[in-house]
Amino acid sequence: MLSIMRRGVVTVLVVLAVAGCTAAPEQPKPPPVVAFTQEMAEAVLAEVVAGVGKNGIADFCAEFARSEETCATLLEGALRECLLPGDKPTVRQAVHESATREYEETWWLVVQGRTLDGQQYVSDFPVVLSAGEPKAALGIYWTGQGSGRGMNDPSNHTVNPKNACPR
């Protein structure tokens, strides 16, 4: 009887060992869900503004904008009109939009400040959650662009500075 019990225990152990060896591989865990907050978006704005203050606009788009090509186009337009950032902008409004099939999760910050020559601007500054990290979508904040998906009508709140080039 003891011998039959031993064989039964050994059989159970062998079955468990074989089952453990043939189990399906562990599935990779999904990345942790990141709570994308207004504070995170404002920290991105502060980083961009500090970077401009420290390094000017050299390599600006490569360093700060997720969409380098769009940033470069906006920067080129700003430079053509001699518009450079001045003081640190303030956030007047923040609108959060969840991700959709077409768009990443976004915080639209409405920022207000002055250009280097003292003109007032009010711009949309979109910050997206891209691959779990907040990043400025366009980077340019001092030209009065209105691009707010979900903002009622960007022309109602944006203020574009005038061409600042000497005539």
pLDDT tens for 96-121 read 999 889 888 999 999 999 999 999 99
Query: Does residue 29 belong to any structural domain of this protein?
Result: no
Structure tokens at 139: 């980077």
Query: Does residue 148 belong to any structural domain of this protein?
Result: yes
In the predicted model, residues of the chain with pLDDT beneath 50 are: 2, 5, 9-10, 12-16
Q: What is the pLDDT of residue 145?
A: 86
DSSP type of residue 10: H
Domain count, the chain: 1
What 3-state class would DSSP assign to 141? coil
Question: Cα 120 from chain centroid?
Answer: 25
Task: Residue 117: give the domain boundaries.
Answer: 38-156
Q: What is the pLDDT of residue 15?
A: 47
Query: Does residue 78 belong to any structural domain of this protein?
Result: yes
Q: What is the chain's Cα-based Rg?
A: 27
Structure tokens at 41: 């978006």
Instruction: Name the one residue in this structure whose structure tokens are 């600042």.
Output: 164
Q: What is the pLDDT of residue 153?
A: 55
Query: Does residue 63 belong to any structural domain of this protein?
Result: yes
Q: For the chain, what is the total number of helices (H) and then of strands (E)?
A: 4, 4
Rounded to whole angstroms, the Cα distance separating 82 from 69 reads 20
Query: Does residue 89 belong to any structural domain of this protein?
Result: yes
